[in-house]
Structure 1
């Protein structure tokens, strides 16, 4: 069983409350997802985020491939972090932690995703060729979109890493 981990950190010149209000609204996931992914919320995003919330989406991870994705918000600490876990979807495991931390320049947003691909060895073969590249593109888009919405901090480098764990 091969696990992978994506880690991303970005700093924005906004307050923690503004960042939390944006990130904890499930409808904003569509704003920070590339349009070519055909992301569409089917159900569960009609309330502010809460522990136990189940959200259903349709997403196209690759051209001509559409899948239903169901996540549950399993942990929430208001203004600090939340965790979403895939219940049904394209991964064998998807555990996504979102952290917010005040820093002198504003707020640091950190994502840590532990994931496993289906199909054993065949799934592992697709990781460097397809999955890793797709996740990098998604998080680069997200970084650019958030910078467009909230601004950039000069001299502060963003961080993105995807590795086997």
Structure 2
């Protein structure tokens, strides 16, 4: 089974405190997820983020495909980073690191996601045809939504790639 990695970096013209306040509130995940994903938080988002927090979502990654996704917040360093890991859901592995770093004129937000697909060779065949395209669309939407909410940073850095590791 292959391990894949998604990497995304985006600079925004906001303070580190503003970035943390937005990103560490699980309810804001719906704001930065495309509507066609049918994303709804079922439980666990009623408190500020903490290590050990379990959050349940309903999501429709593809038309007519509904699934529950359960994540645990496994690491939190207030104002700097947090990690969420899938406990139940569509992936064989999902490990998502979120970093916030203060830079001149704003913040750098960095996401590193290591993931594996289920179903062995069938999952590997589905990756370039479905999964990679879907994740790219989600992160493209997210990038545009964050620009819409917080503005664009002149000469700001944006970076995105996906690879097998």
Category of TM-score, reference length = shorter chain: over 0.9
Deviation at 1:154, TM superposition (A): 1.9
CA–CA separation in structure 2 for the residues paired with 1:61 and 1:121: 20
2:130 maps to 1:130 = yes
4+ aligned runs moved over 6 Å, structure 1: none
Structure 1 gap ranges (5+): none
Deviation at 1:155, TM superposition (A): 2.3
2:162 maps to 1:162 = yes
Checking the alignment, whether the CA contact within 8 Å between 2:41 and 2:58 is kept in structure 1 is yes
Q: How many residues align?
A: 165
Corresponding residue for residue 66 of structure 1: 66
Deviation at 1:34, TM superposition (A): 0.2
Deviation at 1:9, TM superposition (A): 0.1
Corresponding residue for residue 119 of structure 2: 119
Corresponding residue for residue 107 of structure 2: 107
- Counterpart secondary structure, 1:26: coil
Corresponding residue for residue 20 of structure 1: 20
CA–CA separation in structure 2 for the residues paired with 1:146 and 1:51: 25
CA–CA separation in structure 1 for the residues paired with 2:158 and 2:130: 23
Corresponding residue for residue 39 of structure 2: 39
Deviation at 1:157, TM superposition (A): 3.7
